[in-house]
Amino acid sequence: MSPEEHLTRLGFGFAISQSLKAAVDLDIADRLVAGARSAEDLAAECGVHAGALARVLRVLCAEGVFHEEPSGVFGLTAVGDALRAGRGPLDFLRMLNAEPYLAFDKLSHSVRTGEPSFDVVFGLPRFTWLAQNPEAAKAFQAAMVAYGRGVNEAVADAYDFAGCSTVADIGGGHGRLLSAILARNPHLKGILFDLPSGVEEARKGVGGPLPNTSFIAGDFFEGVPAGADVYILKKVIHDWDDEKSVAILTAVRRVLPPHGRVLLAETLVPPGNAFSTIKLIDLTMLAITGGLERTEDEYASLFARAGLSLSRVIPTAAAIQLLEAKDA
């Protein structure tokens, strides 16, 4: 591929992503489990135009998602198999290619200002907009579950809670992470802290059993509950700019006991020029929420500004790390 062809391919990234969304929406991977099929056969079953579907599948074959046999039928690849229901990030792909896809049309606004282009396209900040659009909010939650599949378990497995008595999950949502931690550490008490809507769902057991848990609703910009010796925040700080992130961490530090620890479960941006999904997630955070992914040094700086000190980074079995900090 020449440099010019490479650049052209990158420029057509929108066509690839929307072709992928079309294949997801039509459940193409699940329809090919029993064997290769023609575009005409698939189109009749899906109720779509056969020629148009074939052209979409041809693009995805070039990306390794499907393969076209000499006879003209389409089959699954290992990549395409990950598009089957319950096996891959289907809901995450659907969400990415909905509102975020549209917001990226104004990415130049984010580059000029450092502010989310989502706000310009939709007229409201992302989470405010989601609160007013329940179907999109439901799709967003499903996307987060799909993208984070296995992460809660990996985080719960990676940290030794043996010497701890109470763990507070700050911004814990439906309680999936806290449920995983308590299941592995029955000696622990839990505190689930989130906005009222999240706490209500957690009380219902949406995220799993939460024995010995106190449910507290509130806003972490106004303060967090005392009474824990470990405070964990999973994928919270990456939603916010530096000033707001320091405010959240400062609120935690105020209630942290002398022996307490703060755990951030975040994915670090690696050094170097190699591909990393987190680099794309970081750009998405810029355009959609105004948050950002960070390097280890950048998290250490946030901790220091909040009166905390990064003590170690703990790897997990998933694409996420635990950053442990203590009172400086």
Using one digit for the tens of pLDDT, what is the confidence trace for 268-312?
999 999 999 999 999 999 999 999 999 999 999 999 999 999 999
Q: Which residues are CB-contacts of 237 (< 8 A; sequence separation ≥ 6)?
A: 245, 248, 249, 264, 266, 294, 299, 302
pLDDT at res. 114: 95
Q: Is the pLDDT of residue 89 over 90?
A: no
pLDDT at res. 24: 95
pLDDT at res. 83: 93
Indicate the pLDDT class of residue 88, thresholds 50, 70 and 90. confident
pLDDT at res. 123: 97
Indicate the pLDDT class of residue 237, thresholds 50, 70 and 90. very high
Question: How many Cβ atoms from other residues are within 10 Å of residue 299's Cβ?
Answer: 24
Q: Does domain 3-81 have CATH number 1.10.10.10?
A: yes
Q: What is the domain partition of the chain in residue ranges? A: 3-81, 90-146, 150-281+290-327
pLDDT at res. 127: 87
Q: What is the DSSP letter of 309?
A: E
Indicate the pLDDT class of residue 199, thresholds 50, 70 and 90. very high
Pick from 137, 70, 154, 67: which is nearest to 99 by CA?
Answer: 137
CATH number of the 150-281+290-327 domain? 3.40.50.150
Fold match between 3-81 and 150-281+290-327?
no
Is 49 in the active site? no
The span from the CA of 166 to the CA of 149, in Å, is 25
Indicate the pLDDT class of residue 322, thresholds 50, 70 and 90. very high
Indicate the pLDDT class of residue 109, thresholds 50, 70 and 90. very high
pTM, whole model, 2 decimals?
A: 0.88
Lowest mean pLDDT among 9-13, 49-53, 68-72, 136-140: 136-140
251 neighbors 221 (Cβ within 8 angstroms): yes
Q: Which residues are CB-contacts of 173 (< 8 A; sequence separation ≥ 6)?
A: 194, 198, 201, 202, 207
Supply 141's token pair.
Answer: 């939650």
pLDDT at res. 87: 78
pLDDT at res. 197: 83
Which member of 6, 109, 187, 238 is catalytic?
238
Q: What is the pLDDT of residues 309-319, one digit of tens each?
A: 999 999 999 99
- Mean of per-residue pLDDT scores for the chain: 95
Place of tokens 């209630």: 255
What beta strand segments (E) does the chain contain?
Answer: 66-68, 74-76, 166-170, 189-194, 213-217, 230-234, 261-266, 308-315, 321-327
Indicate the pLDDT class of residue 147, thresholds 50, 70 and 90. confident
pLDDT at res. 108: 97
Helix (H/G/I), strand (E/B), else coil: 325:
strand
Pick from 251, 255, 264: which is nearest to 229 by CA?
Answer: 255
Indicate the pLDDT class of residue 148, thresholds 50, 70 and 90. confident
pLDDT at res. 280: 96
270 neighbors 326 (Cβ within 8 angstroms): no
The span from the CA of 53 to the CA of 31, in Å, is 14
Indicate the pLDDT class of residue 146, thresholds 50, 70 and 90. confident
pLDDT at res. 44: 98
Indicate the pLDDT class of residue 244, thresholds 50, 70 and 90. very high
Indicate the pLDDT class of residue 144, thresholds 50, 70 and 90. confident
